[in-house]
Amino acid sequence: MTKRTKLASLSIAAVLSAGMLGGCATDQEARDMAAAAMDSANAAQACCNANEERINRMYQKIMSK
């Protein structure tokens, strides 16, 4: 699984769990929770991408010496 797939899977699981534990949610509430989960997953992925780019730059700098 890719990082993005894992984050999306975890986000979906969190939304479904919250829906089950919180009782019945309206369709709009479920959509809002899903959108919030997707926003969190996208933010986490952006952070991972930025860290990976930074590490790759450091590696390239070290290897060029």
Domain count, the chain: 1
Residue 2, classed as helix, strand or coil, is: coil
pLDDT of res. 10: 65
Query: Exposed, middle or buried: residue 4 (CB in 10 Å: 0-12, 13-18, 19+)?
Result: middle
Confidence of residue 9 (pLDDT cuts 50, 70, 90): low
Note down the domain range covering 49: 3-63
Summarize pLDDT for 17-62 with one digit per residue, the tens.
666 555 666 888 989 999 999 999 999 999 999 999 999 999 999 9
pLDDT of res. 62: 93
Residues 6 or more apart from 7 whose CB is under 8 A from it? 41, 44, 45
